[in-house]
Amino acid sequence: MRNSKQPLKPVFSVRELTYLALIVAACVVGRILFQPIPNVQPMTAIFLIITAQLGFGRSLIVCLLSVIVTNLYMGMGLWTITQIASYTVVLALFSGLLKIPIVGKTFITQWSFSFFSGFIYGFVISVIDVQVYGMPAFLPYYLQGVSFDFLHSIGNFAFFLLLTPIFQRLLKRVEGNEKAR
């Protein structure tokens, strides 16, 4: 049992909350900035990078906040729930794969997953959409969206490559400042 005089350690430090808030802001700005290009946005890549760096829980927090804030701006609806569910599946899969040594330690395999995550996201969202909207057939609906999934995959691939070194440096700074305190 814990001593009642001992202060509770916070789950998040102020520095980590600030870091996560800035990542959410980057996701929101990135999604809005790339809105004219269908399904090309840095959000998924950022979520995957955060999963690799900080774990599933932190990435899910960034995901939930990013999707809700961007959908407040772009339009809220049932698709918000399906987006969150699809991202949760992608992040949970990636988090599980990161526990396999070759995936967890090799950038190339993580980068490859970033490409396939666009297709995984599209598949999951299609499965949910068919159920939610009561569509009679899954396959035609899914196949109509494969070109958008491909664009999503290409965007993830490129953004993961470009943003991983930046986020790694930022995290080292945050961690370095935490240890110095």
pLDDT band at 66 (very low <50, low <70, confident <90, very high): very high
pLDDT above 70 as % of the chain: 91
Give the pLDDT confidence score for residue 172 in this predicted structure: 82
In a domain, 181, yes or no: no
- Comparison of pLDDT for 5 and 137, the residue scoring more: 137
pLDDT digits (tens, 9 = 90+) for 101-110: 988 888 899 9
**Does 77 have pLDDT greater than 80?**
yes
Distance between CA atoms of 118 and 42, rounded to whole angstroms? 12
Number of independent structural domains in the chain: 1
46 CB-near residues (< 8 Å, 6+ apart): 23, 26, 27, 30, 62, 159, 163, 167
The alpha-carbon radius of gyration of the chain (Å, integer) is 18
- Indicate which CATH number applies to the domain containing 126: 1.10.1760.20
Whether 37 is covered by a domain: the verdict is yes
Buried b (16+ CB within 10 A) or exposed e, 69-92: bbbeeeeeeebbebbbebbbbbbe
Residue 2 lies in a domain: no
Report the distance separating Cα 114 and Cα 159, nearest Å: 9
Q: Is the pLDDT of residue 12 over 60?
A: yes
Q: What is the pLDDT of residues 13-62, one digit of tens each?
A: 888 888 899 999 999 999 999 999 988 999 999 999 999 999 999 999 99
Judge whether 1 lies within some domain: no
Which residue range is the domain that position 103 belongs to? 14-175
**47 found inside a domain:** yes
Summarize pLDDT for 126-165 with one digit per residue, the tens: 999 999 999 999 999 999 999 999 999 999 999 999 999 9
The average pLDDT across 165-179 equals 78
pLDDT for 9? 66
Whether 3 is covered by a domain: the verdict is no
Q: Give CA torsion, residues 28, 32, 35, 41, to 10 deg.
A: -30
Residue 125 falls inside a structural domain:
yes
114 in Cβ contact with 108 (< 8 Å): no
